[in-house]
């Protein structure tokens, strides 16, 4: 839904006329892939927009129900580390794959926080690896508390967390205590932080990126 649904009409409304007025710059100063996505927004109908809005609300409701008892979802920030050539060969596909566990955060109205999680091994060119905590809207302080609890565990060796706007499998980090307000920053020990693919039933997760044929 991020790249191919009627929601891209909002991007067209913002900068579409500018792109059309400077179409000679597309492929030069204006990135051709981004311009193509934005300009495609002009072709969507109001009926399609309302249908996509209903679909997205359904995804949001399903996500709230699925994660009702979870303090956060713990995932990698990305699923792979492509080369420039791989991105150039398939810009939208490469970015969709990299954003597997980040793209949905804004669509589902969720909060997210990223923190360093070591280095990537076995790629021939080891690089930094990031973990991400995603939670309910306005749960930023709770996510920060969990991130600091993870950071404080010496054997994990992670760096300081930082806020992120929001891909691999991940696990839900459960908080069995009563929910707190959005400004609360709970002290979450590692005993309450469970990570692993076994804690996620992916068949129940709404794939907001594959609806209507989008990626």
Q: How many Å apart are CA 147 and CA 87, to the nearest integer? A: 31
pLDDT at position 156 = 62
Domain-by-domain residue ranges, the chain?
67-213
User: Is 196:73 a contact under the CB 8 Å cutoff?
Assistant: no
- Name the pTM for this structure: 0.63
In order along the chain (215 residues), what is the average pLDDT of each group of 10 residues? 83 92 89 90 92 93 91 89 90 88 88 83 66 92 91 64 44 41 38 35 36 36
Written as six digits, the tokens of 54 are 């209903």
**Could you give the C-alpha distances from 46 to 41, 49, 189, 213, 214, in angstroms and in order?**
11, 5, 48, 18, 18
DSSP state of 30: B
Half-sphere exposure of 103 (CA within 13 A, CB side): 22
Find where tokens 């969990």 sit: 146
pLDDT at position 138 = 92
DSSP per-residue string spanning 46-96: HHHHHHHHHHHHHHHHHHHHHTTTEEEEEEES-S----HHHHHHSHHHHHH
pLDDT at position 158 = 56
pLDDT at position 50 = 94
pLDDT at position 151 = 79
């Amino acid at each position: 839904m991020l790249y191919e649904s009627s929601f891209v009409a909002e991007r067209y409304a913002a900068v579409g006329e500018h792109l059309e007025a400077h179409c000679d710059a597309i492929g030069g100063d204006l990135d051709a892939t981004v311009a193509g996505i934005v300009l495609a927004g002009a072709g969507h109908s109001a009926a399609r927009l309302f249908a996509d809005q209903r679909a997205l609300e359904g995804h949001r409701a399903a996500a709230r129900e699925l994660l009702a008892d979870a303090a956060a979802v713990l995932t990698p920030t990305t699923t792979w580390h492509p080369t420039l050539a791989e991105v150039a060969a398939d810009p939208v596909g490469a970015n969709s794959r990299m954003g597997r566990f980040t793209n949905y955060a804004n669509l589902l109205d969720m909060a997210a926080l990223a923190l360093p999680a070591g280095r990537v091994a076995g790629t021939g060119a080891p690089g930094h690896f990031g973990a991400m905590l995603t939670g309910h809207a306005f749960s930023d302080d709770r996510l920060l508390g969990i991130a600091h609890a993870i950071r404080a565990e010496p054997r994990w060796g992670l760096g300081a967390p930082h806020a992120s706007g929001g891909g691999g499998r991940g696990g839900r980090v459960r908080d069995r205590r009563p929910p707190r307000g959005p400004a609360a920053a709970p002290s979450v020990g590692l005993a309450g932080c469970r990570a692993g693919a076994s804690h996620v039933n992916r068949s129940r997760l709404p794939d907001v990126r594959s609806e209507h044929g989008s990626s």
